[in-house]
Each structure stands twice: as structure tokens, then as C-alpha cells.
Amino acid sequence: MSYSKDVIDRVIEENDIVDIVSNYVSLKRSGKDFKGLCPFHHEKTPSFNVSQEKQLYHCFGCHASGNVITFVMNIENIGFKEAVEFLADKAGIKIEEENLSGIEYQKKKLKEEIYEINRLAAIFYYKCLYSRSGQAALKYLYDRGIDDVTIKRFGLGYSPSSGLELLKYLKEHKYSIDTMVNAGLISKSNNGRFYDRFRNRVMFPIIDEKNNVIGFGGRVLDNMKPKYLNTPETIVFKKGKTLYGINYAKKTREDKFIIVEGYMDAIALYQSGIDNVVASLGTALTLEQGKLIKKYKNIVVISYDADEAGVEATIRGLNLLDELNLNVNILTVPNGKDPDEYVRKEGFDAFKKLLEKTDTLIEYKIKKYKQDLDLNNPADRIKYIKKVCKDLSTIKDKVKRDVYVSIVAKDAQIPENTIRAEIDQFVKGFVQNNKKIRYTVGNNRHNIKYSGIKKIPSLKYLIALLLIDNKLYDKVKEKLDINDIDDELLKSVITFIFERLEDGGHVDIKDLSFMLDNAKLRDEFNDIFDILYSEKEINEKIVDDCIREIIKDDLSRKIVRIKKEIDDSYIAGDIEKERELLVQLQNYEKEMLKLKNG
């Protein structure tokens, strides 16, 4: 466990879930609870609910459920320990290092060392840029229109070509080879020689939202491959989880982020006066990057290079942003130029005008579909209609949808009613796939709705019932032996509950929150949170049904096992043992029949 149970309990108590969620979701009061658009799936009608009384959230659309810790873990895409630290920081709670386990303490110290060694490396590269050896790199930046103020602001630098200068510099600062390697600054050759990972490159420090130098990107000055080289994945650097320039862009007063591909695009736009720009480091946008964007803004403008490379990957990234309920617009720079080149040649005002002429996501897709298909070819025309109608089926606004229907019908040269009929088919399919059903425990229905066919195991349901009403414990312990439970993960949960209640104590979901540190258990808890949020009534019949289902599951496993033992005894010729096992089997089957008949 990363932190003591007492620390975790205090962090939860000091962070009201409504206050935390409100930083990411616009909530409106709905009866006793609060409601808003779910941050974990794409929706137009709010189905995300937060209970201040229960300190839980639940989405009736995608069924994401949890408490303040799981919310922060999911929205920030961080681990349990990091979420506890995040919330502790919010509440002004100082977590002492003695609360860390040995492994976690070492991990924390390594992170701090890497942040510091990266900071030193950034200073070293910056100094090298203005040294005699860095003149070619400095000229490259000047030729690209980057001035000294911007160079200093972004900490740009140069890595010497010898491949030993940084290694020597860090050794002088008493850093071990292991730390240098762990930071991704030093590499090891096949013959065991250590050398600088970055050589003869313009260096771009990558800084996170907390102003930590987490890694570097390096651009060659010659014909060496690859053209750009990044820090490898480290304990602090995950390429798909960060955005270049986020440390400055998060401070903007603009209502949107502009997302570009590379370092130079971001730097050039920033220097021109556009302070809300971030770069995706040349990759297709990831879910983690989308969540980082959503943390600060709800509107994004994508301004990727104008070439056609990676269009499919770009569209996948745009769909991902759309599913996060971000308002997505696409800016296409004319004449095949990238944003860096365009703003240098045409200037700030020209780029600002482009921002006024962006395409919506649907408009961009329509253009791309038409560009890649020959609409005079019947097969391509059908493909075009199918693709566009699937996208149009997600638009709730009737006026907006009708405008696009008219455009598509004209492109495809078919009646608008045909387009509408095709859209309706997609809408019906979507409704069918998300049809709500009720799950039954034994013969009793409970009040939680699910998308598709999903059942909550009776043991999870029983755990939730015990947390809702501790008084059920006496009834449960009379009828259920913990040894009847085969699921070791959930067995540990209900054992903890039994131990607390056996001594006359009280237990609720907050008391179990320390278990969320276990990734496997965390997955199991989503359904338990679901029930805790949604269950309104508890009656003895539901409790009895849960217990009966658990015992039936245990009997089923015993019957399967004993049948195998009977087969083994028969093959071995052990008639006496076979006879004993047959008697046991009959007893189990009688018990099963009795349970089934109620």
C-alpha cells in the first residue's frame, strides 16, 4: 500500500467530491444530487450524476462509478498514489515520507532525481547553444526566425557532437551512471561504453504542467537519422501523455487550445503572439493527451501540417477528442504550408484570420472523404454515403444535421430522404446497442440499468448491501460461510467487512478506499460503486437471493471438481474412493436442487 489507511481516509474527508468534479464538469443541481455531461464518454444529454451525500459519482450512460479518488485517477489518467497526492495537495495536507512504503519511497526519490538531472541537462544544453561549438545550431534557430528571448523562454539548446560532454558534466555534479540512464540522457553501446544519447542536435526541453523538465526532443543539424529523437520512456516521461508547451498554454486567457504537430510550430506561433498553442510531439492524439486538454479547455483547434500523411491517424485522434465532449475544429493552412512556415511568411494577423475560417469536425471529414473517393464511381459513392451518414447520426441538433444532409445529398446526387433514411438506420442501431435492461438477483429485480447484457455478480451486490446497511451482517453471517467464496479478490473485501462488523464496528465505502490501490480490485469496485449510488431500497428477499446465488456458485464448482475426481478414481480402479465420491456428489446435487426450488 502506498499510504496508510488513515492518510487515505483524511484525504477523502478533506475533498468534497462536488468541488473536485466541478473543476472538470459543469454541474447543475438535480434534486439532492448534481448532474452534468459525462467526462468519460461522448454524450449530448447529461447522464453523469454526483451525490454530495454519498460522496460518489455515477454515469447512467457508460456506468463509470466511483469516489473522489477514482475520479481523479480517471480524469487525470494517474495512478492511485498520485491521485492521493493530488488530492492531498488540493486540501493542503502534507503527506510525510514515512507514510510511503520502501518501494514507493525509492520511486519518489528517483523521480525527484530525474527532474533535477533533466533540469541540469537543460541548463547545460542552453549554455552549449551559445558556445563556439553551438554556432551552427544557433544559426539554424535564427534562420527559422526564432529570437533570443524565445530561445531563453523555451530553454532551447544544443547537444555537442562528441557524445561525451553531458556525461562528463553530470559526473562532475556527482550523478551516477544509473541515474543518467534512467533519465534517458545517457545510452550504452554494445561494447559497454556509455555516451550522450543526444549528439549534434538542437535541443527542445519538454516541460510538464508543473514546470518539471520531463524529457527532451532533439533535431539533427546534418543528415543523421532519425530527424527528431526523443527521450525514451522513463518513470517521468510518457510521450503520449504530455503536450509540448502545456506549461505556458495552460495560463492563456483564450477559450481554446491550438494543437500543432511539432516543436517549431508551437514555438513560432507562440513567438508571434499566440500563447494558447501546444504540440502533440508528432504523434496521433492519444486519450491521455485529450484528457490533459480537457482539464484546461473545452474548445480545440487542430492545425496539423497540410500534407496528406497520416490522415487516418489524424481522424482517429479527432474522433477521440470528440468523444471527450471537446468542441473540435480543424484549421487547414493553405498551399501545403505548416503553421511555422505560414506564420513566418504571412504573419500573426494572417494566421488569426485563418482561425476564423476553421472547419467543424464533420466538415473536415466530408472534405477528406470526398478527396479520397471518386463520387462518379457508384461503389465509392456508396462508401461515401455510408461513412458520412454514420457521422451525421451522432448530431443531435436537427437544423445542423439537415444542413449537412443537404450538402451530402448534393454531393452524392441522391434524394435527401434517402440520406435521412440511412442516418435513421445508424441511429436505430445505436439505440439497440445501448438498450437498457434490468438485472435480476435470483427472482428479484433491482433498480440499476445497464447498457447491453451485463450482470453484477451476487457477491459484489452483497458487499454493496452490507456497506449500505451494516445491520444486515447478523443475517448474512448466519447463512454464509466465507469459505464458500471462491473469488479470492472479493473474498478479501468481504473478509475485511466481516472483521470490522464482528467487533461491533461500522464500515462504509470510505473504509475500503485503501483497497483501490490494487489495480485488480479497483476494476471490481466499479460495480460496487454503481450499486451504492443507485440502490434505493433493501429488502430481505434481495439479501436471501444474493446468498443463495453465492452458495449455488460454490456448489457448482464443487460438483464440477468432484465429477473429475470420480472419473480419475474410475480410471485408477479405486472403487472404494469412487463410491465415497458418488455419495458426496449426490449430497451436493440434493443441496443444489433444494436451492433451485427455493
Percent of the chain with pLDDT over 90: 38
Architecture of domain 5-98 in this structure: Alpha-Beta Complex (3.90)
Architecture of domain 246-363 in this structure: 3-Layer(aba) Sandwich (3.40)
Lowest mean pLDDT among 150-159, 453-462, 552-561: 453-462
Q: Which three cell numbers stand for residue 469?
A: 446497511
Mean pLDDT to the nearest integer, 382-404: 88
CA 511: distance to chain centroid? 26
The model's confidence at residue 430, banded by pLDDT at 50, 70 and 90, is: low
- 3-state DSSP assignment of residue 306: coil
- Of 347, 359, 277, 356, which Cα lies nearest the Cα of 318? 359
Cis, bond preceding 415 (omega within 30 deg of 0): no
Mean pLDDT to the nearest integer, 400-421: 91
The model's confidence at residue 1, banded by pLDDT at 50, 70 and 90, is: very low
Q: Are 158 and 125 in contact (CB under 8 A)?
A: yes
- 3-state DSSP assignment of residue 215: strand
What's the CA gap between 387 and 373, in Å, rounded?
A: 11
What's the CA gap between 154 and 265, in Å, rounded?
A: 13
Please name the residues in contact with 585: beta carbons below 8 A apart, sequence gap of 6 or more: 559, 562, 563, 566
pTM of the model: 0.67
Phi-psi region of 221 (alpha: psi -120 to 50; beta: other; left: phi over 0): alpha
Whether 202 has a pLDDT exceeding 90, the answer reads yes
The model's confidence at residue 101, banded by pLDDT at 50, 70 and 90, is: low
Lowest mean pLDDT among 235-239, 361-365, 455-459, 568-572: 455-459
What's the CA gap between 307 and 75, in Å, rounded?
A: 33
Q: Are 238 and 206 in contact (CB under 8 A)?
A: no
**What CATH number labels 438-598?**
1.10.860.10
Dihedral (C-alpha) 241, 243, 247, 251: value to the nearest 10 degrees? Answer: -110
pLDDT of residue 282: 67
Lowest mean pLDDT among 276-280, 427-431, 581-585: 427-431
pLDDT of residue 313: 63
pLDDT in tens, 336-384: 678 888 888 888 899 989 998 899 889 988 888 888 788 889 999 999 9
Helices (H) and strands (E) in the chain, counts: 25, 18
The neighbouring-strand residues paired with 440 are 445
Contacts 24+ apart (CB under 8 A), 339-343: 339/260, 339/265, 339/268, 339/269, 339/303, 339/305, 340/144, 340/262, 340/264, 340/265, 340/267, 340/268, 340/269, 343/268, 343/269, 343/272, 343/274
Residue with cell 449510488: 533
- Of 57, 217, 228, 246, which Cα lies nearest the Cα of 122? 217
Percent of the chain with pLDDT over 70: 91
Tell me the residue type at 85.
E
Q: Which three cell numbers stand for residue 121?
A: 541537462
Q: Are 184 and 234 in contact (CB under 8 A)?
A: yes
pLDDT of residue 307: 55
pLDDT in tens, 263-316: 999 999 999 999 999 999 866 788 889 888 988 888 999 987 655 555 666 777
pLDDT in tens, 39-94: 888 777 899 999 999 999 999 888 889 999 999 998 887 888 889 988 998 888 88
CA 396: distance to chain centroid? 26
The model's confidence at residue 441, banded by pLDDT at 50, 70 and 90, is: very low
Architecture of domain 104-237 in this structure: Alpha-Beta Complex (3.90)
| H/E stretch holding 80 | helix 80-91
Q: Which three cell numbers stand for residue 494?
A: 468481504
> What are the residue boundaries of the structural domains of the chain, listed by start?
5-98, 104-237, 246-363, 373-433, 438-598
Equal CATH topology for 246-363 and 438-598: no
What's the CA gap between 342 and 333, in Å, rounded?
A: 7
Phi, psi of 596 (to 5 degrees): -65, -30
